[in-house]
Structure 1
């Protein structure tokens, strides 16, 4: 009589996983802005990618980061990504909760343009 396994059936191992940008955090590093993007995948995975932009202008920094992230090749989207300043940059606890909708638009526009260019090159 064969024993029944209580383990769930094996799921195939994915060589790659598609990620999406969930949140974007900005922090000042001297005369530059560091942008950290929090990515999630459909399996519940989480990872962060950081890039230091060669500028102190937050709008240019998020555009720089969007090009970097979209160029990774396995990041599929950034819809509804929230952009805010990192906790250490906030003056009050309320500041840490405030989203910057203008920077969100800058990030999403640049991300979508770069992603479209990457997809065109792959065709």
Structure 2
């Protein structure tokens, strides 16, 4: 007796047509640089709206105070603070004078906000 075996028939998939566009190394670089420039142009266009106002702001009226021996920033701010909020006046003095610490030296000149009563 003989045995008959059936093998599945192999049908190759139809060949896809090859694209006629092939990018070389230089072509990929050109596409990358162009895309990068496009992204940067969009970023600059969107960031153009983040500008200041057209009118100048009102400068804060200030006066110069010379630090004497024993003066502290808290003491100077408490003399100036009209509403009793010493911490906000201290912060304002630090900002006006670009102070990194609250330590003061005798003879140092500080710009402080003018007391408005």
Bin of the TM-score, shorter chain as denominator length: under 0.3
- RCO comparison, higher one (Cα < 8 Å, 6+): 2
After TM superposition, the score normalised by the length of structure 2 is 0.23
Larger Rg: 2
After TM superposition, the score normalised by the length of structure 1 is 0.22
